[in-house]
Structure 1
Amino acid sequence: MIQVCPNGPLGHSVPLTPDDLAASVREAVAAGAQDVHLHPKDPAGNDSVAPEHVAAALTTVRAAAPGVPVGVTTREEACPDPRRRAELVTSWSVLPDHASVNWHEEGADLVADALLAHGVGIEAGIFSGTEAARRFLRWPSADRVLRVLAEVVDTDPATAATTARDLLTELAPSTRPLLLHGEHGGAWPVLRLAASLGLDTRIGLEDTLLLPDGSPAPGNAALVAVAREIVARNGG
């Protein structure tokens, strides 16, 4: 499975409004994306978990790509207080198919418990080089998540794949499906590794603004199209 991550904390170089997200996701799905990870935004362009912003993004994107699972972030930058974040998650009236929870962040268990209680699938975000894997594996409901996001934050293209393998070793005790991805300079090396291992992966302007040859990506669809070729060459 190839997930597209069409926006994120990269400012005005990525789609921000629900309409822009919908157009970008429609093109990415046509190029081969099978799942979506969004960062809903407030009017100032900041990440938000407020119910009105989540609902606007989900409703518009789903109309543009019917039948495709759509998830959202719950990263702490969207709401630094984990207790307040958990309250906001519980107040969502339009529910995503899944939501990511970063386990290196304080209060991840509170947010994850709130999502489970609200009937939202969880993508457990496990960043390399952190205590996230240990924290997640100690959580009593670790076997109830939708999938584990093995997130390689090593951006050196020469070492990112090795860092990815180390992270996968840390996550070996988990029984849940894995999605492996990198970012910036590590995005394409890690995606190639994921393809070679037969793992789900993701790509989009949240993770990299560049194609494998170093040229600027014209959009999310172009990134997905290249990722699809790489996965196909590895039998995916």
Structure 2
Amino acid sequence: MSLRGLRVSTPVSVSVSVSLNGGRTAADGGAVPLSPPDVVESALGAVAAGAGEVLVHPRTPCGRESLSPRVVGPLLEAVRGAGVSVPLSVSAGIGAEPDPAGRLERVRSWTVLPDRAVVHFAEPGAEELAEALLARGVAVDAVVPLGGEGAGPGAVPRAEPGAVEPEPGALARFLAWPVRDPARIRLAVELAVADPALVAGLRWLPPVPLLLFGREAAAWPVLRLAARCGAGARIGAGDVLHLPDGRAARSNAELVSAALEVVGTQSAVTAWSR
């Protein structure tokens, strides 16, 4: 399906963000950085490989995700102090704080601020959390899932794309949320499958940048789709632990290098086919 009808605000070249660790644990292997020193080393390597942004899930010394200012602040300072100059993002999801009121309290108590924060619009309290972040000067990545059984309600209708309004769900909640500052909001669409129809079906998209990403088996196909339609892309050990050829990735830097190679190939093919 053609993507010509998709109206998105995108950069001229595809930017690749790196998700350093996601919700993974030590059981997922050495490619996943969990401790602050490992996060710093991994971030430096990923940026040196070409990552344009870094996303991290901060953790306590025992490995639990946390939004505490005593965890988030020192980690951000360590990464920035090591020389990482690209935008830094943190995840502000229920994995770190299940209670919506607790998430708001944590965000409002941060003493060191990230450049961006990831807000999952499938989770309760997403709108209030996004507004609290924006009020503190933190840009927001609004995550919505599309496609597959795991996407839940809010997926774009498949029978006749664009003909039916989305059902109540993450995407509908984002579209109903008033976007007052498009420059500081990005729609991060998690695709269960690399289906161009899902992206082309975003008829109600506000004028905000678009980032596409997938997890596990969907990660590399979705990255190729992002390159084809000119959206931002995301890769990293937080999303996938293998390279496009199926080999286990040794580091986030290796994943970013492979992603940029894929993006370059897809962009060249797209330019040639025009």
Q: Which residue is 1:157 aligned to?
A: none
Among candidates 171, 183, 186, match of residue 147 of structure 1: 186
How far apart are 1:66 and its partner, in Å? Answer: 3.2
User: Any residues of structure 2 matched to 1:23-34 within 5 Å, and which?
Assistant: 23-34=41-52
**Structure 2 CA distance for aligned equivalents of residues 49 and 142 of structure 1:** 25
Query: 1:58-97 to 2 correspondence within 5 Å?
Result: 58-97=76-115
Amino acid at match of 2:173: R
Query: Who wins on radius of gyration, i.e. which is larger?
Result: 2
Please give the alpha-carbon distance, in whole angstroms, between the structure 1 residues aligned to 2:37 and 2:142.
28
**Which of 171, 180, 194 matches 2:226?**
194
Deviates more, 1:138-147 or 1:8-17: 138-147
RMSD: 1.6
Report % sequence identity. Answer: 43
Tell me if the contact between 2:44 and 2:84 (Cα under 8 Å) persists in the aligned partners. Answer: no
Q: CA deviation at 1:142?
A: 6.1
1:133 to 2:171 alignment: yes
What is the correspondence of 1:10-29 to structure 2 with a 5 Å cutoff?
10-12=24-26, 13=29, 14-29=32-47
Normalising by structure 2, report the TM-score: 0.80
Aligned to 2:7: none
Identify if the C-alpha distance between structure 1 residues 83 and 7 changes in structure 2 by more than 3 Å, giving closer, same or farther.
same
The 8 Å contact of residues 103 and 125 in structure 1, kept in 2 or not, is answered as yes
| Cα distance in 1, alignment partners of residues 36 and 200 from structure 2 | 34
Residue 119 of structure 1 deviates from its aligned partner by 1.1
- Any gaps of 5 or more consecutive residues in structure 2? 1-14, 153-168, 269-274
Task: Report which structure shows greater RCO (CA 8 Å, sep ≥6).
Answer: 2
Count of matched residue positions in the alignment of Structure 1 and Structure 2: 229
2:22 maps to amino acid: G
Tell me the amino acid that sits aligned with residue 138 of structure 1. A
* 1:207-218 pair list within 5 angstroms: 207-218=239-250
Deviates more, 1:68-77 or 1:137-146: 137-146
Letter in 1 for 2:174: F
**Does residue 116 of structure 1 match 2:134?**
yes
Residues 47, 84 of structure 2: 8 Å contact kept: no
Taking structure 1 as reference, are residues 165 and 222 closer, same or farther at Cα in structure 2, changes over 3 Å only? Answer: farther
| Structure 1 residue 9 corresponds to structure 2 residue 23 | yes
Alpha-carbon spacing, 1:218–1:142, altered in 2? closer, same or farther (3 Å): farther
Report the AA paired with residue 177 of structure 2: W
Q: Name the TM-score, length of structure 1 as normaliser.
A: 0.92
